[in-house]
Structure formats: structure tokens, C-alpha cells
Amino acid sequence: MRILPGRLLAVLDPEVSRASRRPRGPSPLVRPPSTRDSECEAQEASVFELLFFTERGFQAFQQFYQRAIPGYGAPEARGPKAELGFLWPQVHFHPRGLPEYAFMDFLRDFVNCTDGEALDFFEILDSDFLGVLSFQKVYAAVCIIAALSSRQLAKYVYMHSRHLYDLLSAGGRTPLLWPKVQMLQLLLGAPLDLISRICEKKAPFAQLSRAEFDEAMFHVAAHLDRGGADPLAAEVINEMDRMGPVKSKLCTIL
């Protein structure tokens, strides 16, 4: 998963987004890939800092969220909940939250991800088993992916590990088990060998304490910030290129 910085920046700061799209004089038709990558990384970092560290970015995202939900703040519709069961969130739109299909559409507007990844993220965050995500959980989801894209996930985990633990455990009302944490780590792109090393001494369905959760998430976040989960970060070295123009003894004699 990777954030789409241009779309999110258009919500958080429209003036900066419009200025970045203006032509800046003559430019080459094709820019080097390194230049494009550095510009994208800088934009991703600015988006995360604007969303996570500034009140202006938070307010802009909250206002966009309220406009995206039809009838935000209206009293909840009443209906035959007992008869509908788990279909209640799909039939009657929650006035302050996003059900499963709406969260998938909302997330894909700002994140380059598949439908399966969005649905897995919804399942991880739906710790209350209500079928609806509140604004706090949607905001946390976007912040996590923005931090992952800008390689500042360790900073986010360090500063908001308590809040993240409360979101995943419904404020301590439901136990936070290893499978949910492993699912989150896999969704973020952590390799299986790292996850297995972290939880090798734990029972498969053991309940995590706050300290264990912090340790497990910080190791994964630090690894991802270093680019360890990105297969494109690996550089293939050709041995012949590294040797340089070395002549054999036979060529020297001739």
C-alpha cells in the first residue's frame, strides 16, 4: 500500500496542490527516474507532516470526511436491527461512520491498494465488531499509510502506540491477539521471516500487553522505514561490472 500524495494534498492544502501543478517554465520531456522519485518522496513526507502534525491538515481532512458522509451528524435511522443482523450497517447508513464498502471506496481515493487490502484493514480496525468505522479509525488508517509511504512509521508508532493499541483493542474491551497484529504487519509489508522471529516465543493466540505490542510494532516499523520490505530497493550488482577493465594474463602476453 502506498499513499497517493497528490489527491490527499488536494484535500489538505488545495493552494499548494494547485501551485505544484502549474507549469514552471521549459522542462525536458523526460526527467530522470531519480528526480521523479525524490520529488514523490518529498511530497509524501510533506503530506504526512501536514496531516499528522498540523491542526490545519487535521481540520481539512475532518471537514472532507464530514462532507463525504451523507447526512453526517443526523440522528441514526431506526429499523428492525434484530431482523437484519449483520446487514444493518449496509441497509441503514451510519450517520457518523463508514461501513465496509464505503471505507473501501474512501480509502482507495487516497491510497494505492487493492480491494482485499482495504477490506483487511477494515477488519483489523473494526475492533468493536459493529461493521462501522468511526472518524478516529479512518483518520488513523490514512495516517498509518502516509507514515509508511514517507518512511516515518516508526515515528508514528513511537508517538501514538497507546492510541493505536486502544483502537485495535476497543479501548481494552476486547483482547488484542497475535493474529490481528500479524495481519496488520503483513498488510504493511513486513516480511514473514521478521514476523516469525518476533513472535516465535509466543503462543499462537496469546493476548498482547501494551509493552509487547509496542515492541512488536516498533521492530517492524523500523525495518519498513529502512526500506527492508521494498523489493525494488535491492540493487543487483554484476560481478563483471564491479571488476572493471581487468585483462587476463593471456591478453597481457599477446
Answer yes or no: is 96 within a domain.
yes
- If asked whether residues 125 and 196 sit together in one domain, one would say no
Cα 88 off chain centre by: 28
Closest CA to 225 of 148, 168, 166: 148
- If asked whether residues 64 and 177 sit together in one domain, one would say no
Asked if residue 142 has pLDDT above 90, the reply is yes
What is the amino acid identity at position 182? Q
- If asked whether residues 178 and 114 sit together in one domain, one would say no
Answer yes or no: pTM beyond 0.85: no
- If asked whether residues 93 and 198 sit together in one domain, one would say no
Lowest mean pLDDT among 85-94, 159-168, 188-197, 204-213: 85-94
Number of domains in the chain: 2
- If asked whether residues 101 and 145 sit together in one domain, one would say yes
User: How confident is the model over 152-166, as pLDDT tens digits?
Assistant: 999 999 999 899 999
* End-of-domain residue from the set 102, 118, 150: 150
- If asked whether residues 4 and 67 sit together in one domain, one would say yes
Answer yes or no: is 254 within a domain.
no
Q: Say which residues have a Cβ less than 8 Å from residue 87's Cβ, sequence separation at least 6.
A: none
- If asked whether residues 4 and 50 sit together in one domain, one would say yes
- If asked whether residues 141 and 15 sit together in one domain, one would say yes
- If asked whether residues 59 and 95 sit together in one domain, one would say yes
Answer yes or no: is 155 within a domain.
no
- Secondary structure (3-state) at 98: strand
pLDDT reported for residue 233 = 40
Residues of the domain holding 206 = 172-227
- If asked whether residues 98 and 212 sit together in one domain, one would say no
